[in-house]
A and B are shown apart, each in its own frame.
Chain A
Amino acid sequence: MTEKPKSVRNLASGRRELREVIETCDLIERRKYNPFFLDVKLGVETLRQYFPIWEEFKDHCLDAHALNRLSEVVRLQNTQLKFQSSALYAEPEFMSKKFQRMSEKRLAEVFLQSWHPIAELEQLTNETVSTALDYWNLLLPIQERWKRREYVRGKNPEVADSGILTGLGIHGEDFGKRLAGLWSELRRIHDVDQKPVEYWRFVKGPTHQETVQRAYFVSFLVTYGYAKLQVEGDQITLLPQEHPSNKPLEGGVSFPIPIPREV
């Protein structure tokens, strides 16, 4: 009776360990780690340890996959040793430091001395003609394009005094109230969801004008440390900060976010 739960636990931990081995091997293959980062002997020992308890077909597949990944790491270790004995060998960190410290001109000169560009004559080919035709067929008539340009152009820039800015709600007391309101709203959503708030979900207003205004205020929340902007690939999220610094963050970078009309 007491044996079974133990074997179930072993199975689960065995699967987890094998997945970890596979994951590490994959990271090594993607050059995240040095091939010698993994102790292959220990990896094989792990496979050997769990092999007798595998029951299902998928466990055996996992075992075979892990063995295959380990053999790939051994191959990479072999390549690494060969590479270290070749003329091309240099430590990546050393190269990165050299690049950082060498002058731009010297780097360009070094490259030019080792660069023998291809001599070729550009000309029209079937492929370039086909690409050009596709472009031409998709191109709107010039009148349509001018119409669109007129629509986008808007008014010329004008001088705005503090009165106008206050009227627009982007200056003065209203401005502070609006910022505080937006910060509370962000914190409320975050408290409910318990995860960073999606930027576009938060910024989107009933009209395009409102969306632009909210994005404008959010930029202040981020600059003054009321919220943290997180960017992962295409995903932009906002994380409210409990204790804002109330002054522009040092070492911050600009992050332009274009607001398309369809948002």
Chain B
Amino acid sequence: MEQPETKSFYSDKLKRAIHLLLFHRGKMPGAKEWELKEKVGKNYVQVLEQLNQLLSELDLEIKKVTERSSGEPTAEGIPAPLEEARYYVTLKGSLGLKEAKMIGWRIDNLAALSGGIAYIVAKQGKAPREDVEKVIALKYGRWKATTLVDIFLRTGYLEEDDAGVVSLGWRTKSEVDLPSLMTKMAETKL
């Protein structure tokens, strides 16, 4: 009796892919698309699909996030595309309050982050820093609001440009399900 043909990748390709995704090498976690192509091979998308199946049993998943590149030419002198994809391993489900505390998050910081992100999204992804601080200060006071915004900028949840305009950072784009956050914020009864 013939077995249906299932394409299974060699385990070393899966290992290489998970090493690239999990081990922190540069400033940011995850792996860029070209890195995966170079180290895993042209069929890296299929490798990632298979890896995703394995990870889903552990409540993890691979997420692709497109980000703006610096546009600088590569070592071979080829102009880099203006957008490039980065792959991350993220939690598939969600954490509870106790778990969040266990990994070092304070409840007030999470609450302020939630409000800050929701406000910036409502302002179409950009808002003057002073406005964001004013919103957070409604709950936490002026001095704490400034400190909290600094923390969110440092951890990559927010970004600030030279003109003092704050936008959503790479970490928010990778980790936060914005439609879900906005819906839940709007739905909450007071």
Residues of chain A whose beta carbon lies under 8 Å from any beta carbon of chain B: 30-32, 79-80, 83, 87-92, 94-96, 98-102, 104-123, 125, 127, 253
Contacts and interface: CB of A to CB of B under 8 A. Distances in A.
Contact of B119 (A32, A92, A104): A92
B95 interface: yes
B22 A111 contact: no
Contact of B30 (A87, A90, A118): A118
A113 B131 CA distance: 26
20 contacts: A30-B126, A30-B165, A31-B123, A80-B124, A90-B186, A91-B122, A92-B127, A98-B118, A98-B185, A101-B190, A110-B185, A111-B110, A111-B176, A114-B176, A114-B180, A116-B175, A118-B89, A118-B174, A127-B26, A127-B27
B135 A115 contact: no
A87 B24 CA distance: 34
Given A99-B135, A107-B114, A113 B107 contact: no
B182 interface: yes
Given A90-B118, A90-B121, A117-B90, A99 B30 contact: no
B188 interface: yes
Interface residues of B, number: 66
B182 A87 contact: yes
Nearest to B181: A114
B47 interface: no
A122 B182 CA distance: 31
B118 A109 contact: no
Contacts of B188: 98, 102, 106, 110
Nearest to A253: B142
A100 B188 CA distance: 13
Given A31-B165, A105-B97, A118-B90, A113 B180 contact: yes
Interface string B44-86: 0000000000000000110100000000000000000000000
B168 to A, nearest CB: 11
Contact of A90 (B110, B122, B136): B122
Contact of A95 (B93, B95, B111, B118): B118
A11 to B, nearest CB: 30
Contacts of B126: 30-31
B10 interface: no
B138 A115 contact: no
B179 A112 contact: no
A210 to B, nearest CB: 29
Interface string B88-110: 11111111110010010001101
Contact of A31 (B113, B121, B128, B177): B128
Contacts of B13: none
B118 A120 contact: no
Given A32-B128, A115-B176, A118-B175, A92 B181 contact: no
Contacts of B180: 113-114
B32 interface: no
B189 to A, nearest CB: 10
A114 B123 contact: no
Given A95-B119, A100-B138, A119 B185 contact: no
Nearest to A83: B124
B98 to A, nearest CB: 10
B164 to A, nearest CB: 8
A111 B111 CA distance: 7
Contacts of A110: 114, 181, 184-185, 188
A110 B190 CA distance: 13
